[in-house]
């Protein structure tokens, strides 16, 4: 079992950006981009690297097998035929979850039970002295997808989603996922020497993610993953990849020291509790010296800086408050930001009337998902910055094109 199919999942519309990110990590051959993620062949070290290093993916799965099934008997026999003993020992825990779409086997609960039963019978035949599996060992979350009568069964190597970087200890109302913030930052083409403002910073996700990305910090460096406890993934690989990630970050920071010396990120929010939470999280993430947080209403925002960027996820009626309040907030936002004619603005919202309320049609808008909520990232590109930014700007535009945004 030296090589197997690995799937790095991503929300719809992010697959192209994820492929580009994986290319930069050295995965240039054999990648297949499909709806919901990127697939390639790899081994244990790739499970470690993808979980530790990928910033815009959601989960890292490994495929156990795939087969057609239109009856419960076919589902049972197809599952039982897979080499479960190569993954699961007699102590392993293997909960089952999944989805079915456009298939004759549409009852998810029934499919869960049948898949579980098939795995148990397979293991009982391999571990003949075991009649009962207590499941007290490492957790191998079994995930199934049934799409148009084709069954794919996978194991989730991540555990918690990759958006959980390890620094968020306090919960906030309707928090932005870190992976979504990473996508927003990529599409904005923000660079560390450019002032970055989030006037609705909440618990600080966009700014913290921006600082960590600018520092070259591996997003999964300070958390654990489900497959760390799997014997198929040696502990030495985790030590190796983490040490390499630290060394690479140090080299990156040395190379980019001039840019990082200018890095300035500012976060504002009307809620004092949110600002307190943001400061706490920035300290836990080790980036508090780069970010200034202050309680401030959007109507009081002013700046004399040139070529700044606003990247934000303001409240919208579907999440917090109602549509009229959200529209009023966007009108104020448009009026306050209008004088900043050399700035760029990137606003994520699900509100369909954003552009009208903001007072300007976006240069481009890209469909993104914040969790399960469909949103649009409205992009207002300012004038081209000084020459030292040009190469970076062109690289960012190429990445944005890969995302397949709609105008």
Write the pLDDT tens digit of every residue in 142-188: 999 999 999 999 999 999 999 999 898 877 666 799 999 999 999 99
Residue with tokens 């030495």: 236
Output phi, psi for 246, to 5 deg: -65, -45
For the chain, the straight-line distance linking the first and the last C-alpha, in angstroms and rounded, comes to 45
Identify which has the larger pLDDT, 111 or 29. Answer: 111
Q: How confident is the model at residue 130 (pLDDT cuts 50, 70, 90)?
A: confident
Identify which has the larger pLDDT, 317 or 210. Answer: 210
Residue ranges and CATH numbers for the domains of the chain are 4-156 (3.30.2130.30), 178-215+258-403 (3.40.50.150)
pLDDT of 111 above 70? yes
Output the pLDDT for position 384. 78
Q: What is the mean pLDDT of residues 349-353?
A: 92
Average pLDDT score, the chain: 91
Q: How, if at all, do strands 37-42 and 32-34 pair?
A: antiparallel
pLDDT of 249 above 70? yes
- In this structure, the chain runs to a length of 407
CA–CA separation, 187 and 205 (whole Å): 16
Which of 69-73, 291-295, 368-372 bottoms out in mean pLDDT, i.e. has the lowest? 368-372
pLDDT of 287 above 80? yes
Encode 6-22: b = buried (16+ Cβ within 10 Å), e = exposed: bbbbbbebbbbbbbbbb
Q: What is the dihedral of CA 157, 375, 364, 381, to 10 degrees?
A: -80
Q: Which residues are paired to 150 by β-bridges? A: 68, 147
CA–CA separation, 380 and 361 (whole Å): 8
pLDDT of 370 above 70? yes
Q: What is the pTM of this model?
A: 0.91
CA–CA separation, 5 and 42 (whole Å): 6
Output the pLDDT for position 406. 43
Q: How confident is the model at residue 399 (pLDDT cuts 50, 70, 90)?
A: very low
pLDDT of 96 above 60? yes
Q: What is the mean pLDDT of residues 237-241?
A: 98
CA–CA separation, 151 and 68 (whole Å): 6
Output the pLDDT for position 1. 59
DSSP state at residue 310 = E
CA–CA separation, 270 and 294 (whole Å): 9
Q: How confident is the model at residue 345 (pLDDT cuts 50, 70, 90)?
A: very high
Output the pLDDT for position 387. 62
pLDDT of 40 above 80? yes
Q: How confident is the model at residue 371 (pLDDT cuts 50, 70, 90)?
A: confident
Q: How confident is the model at residue 83 (pLDDT cuts 50, 70, 90)?
A: very high
Q: What SS3 state is found at 212?
A: helix
pLDDT of 403 above 60? no
Q: What is the mean pLDDT of residues 313-334?
A: 79
pLDDT of 242 above 60? yes
């Amino acid at each position: 079992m030296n090589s197997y199919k690995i799937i790095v999942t991503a929300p719809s519309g992010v697959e192209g950006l994820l492929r580009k990110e994986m290319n930069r990590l050295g995965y240039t051959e054999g990648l297949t981009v499909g709806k919901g993620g990127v697939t390639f062949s790899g081994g244990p070290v790739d499970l470690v690297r993808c979980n530790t290093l990928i910033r815009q993916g959601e989960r890292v799965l490994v495929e156990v097998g795939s087969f057609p099934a239109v009856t419960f008997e076919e589902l049972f026999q197809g599952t039982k035929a897979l080499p479960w003993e190569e993954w699961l020992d007699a102590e392993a825990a293997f909960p089952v979850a999944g989805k079915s779409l456009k298939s004759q086997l549409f009852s998810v609960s029934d499919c869960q039970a049948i898949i579980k039963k098939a795995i148990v019978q397979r293991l009982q035949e391999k571990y003949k002295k075991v009649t009962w599996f207590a499941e007290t060992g490492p957790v191998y979350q079994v995930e199934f997808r049934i799409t148009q009568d084709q069954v794919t069964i996978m194991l989730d190597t991540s555990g918690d989603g990759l958006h959980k970087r390890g620094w968020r200890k306090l919960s906030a109302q309707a928090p932005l996922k870190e992976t979504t913030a990473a996508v927003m930052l990529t599409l904005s083409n923000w660079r560390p020497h450019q002032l970055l403002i989030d006037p609705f910073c909440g618990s600080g996700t966009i700014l913290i993610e921006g600082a960590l990305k600018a520092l070259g910090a591996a997003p999964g460096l300070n958390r654990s993953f489900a497959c760390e406890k799997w014997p198929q993934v040696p502990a030495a690989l985790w030590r190796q990849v983490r040490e390499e990630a630290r060394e690479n970050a140090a080299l990156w920071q040395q190379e980019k020291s001039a840019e990082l010396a200018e890095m300035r990120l500012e976060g504002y929010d009307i809620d004092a509790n949110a600002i307190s939470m943001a400061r706490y999280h920035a300290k836990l993430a080790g980036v508090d010296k780069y970010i200034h947080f202050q309680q401030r209403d959007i109507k009081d925002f002013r700046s004399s800086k040139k070529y700044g960027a606003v990247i934000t996820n303001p409240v919208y009626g579907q999440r917090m408050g109602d549509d009229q309040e959200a529209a009023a907030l966007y009108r104020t936002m448009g009026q306050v930001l209008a004088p900043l004619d050399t700035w760029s603005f990137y606003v994520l919202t699900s509100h369909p009337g954003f552009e009208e309320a903001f007072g300007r049609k976006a240069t481009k808008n890209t469909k993104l998902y914040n969790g399960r909520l469909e949103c649009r990232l409205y992009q207002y590109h300012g004038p081209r910055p000084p020459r030292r930014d040009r190469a970076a700007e062109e690289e960012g535009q190429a990445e944005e094109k890969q995302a397949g945004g709609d105008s």
